Amino acid sequence: MKIKVTYHGQFRDITGLDEEEIEAKDGVTVVELRDLVREKYPRIAAKREILVAINNSFAPLETVIKQNDQVAFFPPVSGG
């Protein structure tokens, strides 16, 4: 299935994209999709933490992504 992925913050800078479609197997989990993105973008792989949201809510790594889900990748957030 094709999954629409959006990138935010420095991940947008790393990929040079706001969004893209990634081909993945049916039943792919957040951790599996995250690993696909890490393989494609080594500079993202170098980041220890990657936050992933599905349909505007941060998702546990074992969450299964369904067709038409909106998936977003965020770098770790810091503030003060």
Judged against a pLDDT cut of 80, whether residue 79 lies above it is answered with no
Locate 60 and state its tokens: 């546990």
Under CATH, which number does the domain 2-74 receive?
3.10.20.30
pLDDT digits (tens, 9 = 90+) for 12-56: 999 999 999 999 999 999 999 999 999 999 999 988 889 999 999
Whether residue 62 contacts residue 34, with contact meaning beta carbons closer than 8 Å, is answered with no
- Res 48: pLDDT: 82
Q: What is the mean pLDDT of residues 54-74?
A: 95
Give the 3-state DSSP-derived string for 6-74, with helices as H, strands as E and coil as C.
EECCHHHHHHCCCEEEEECCCCCEHHHHHHHHHHHCHHHHCCCCCEEEECCEECCCCCECCCCCCEEEE
Whole-model pTM above 0.85? yes
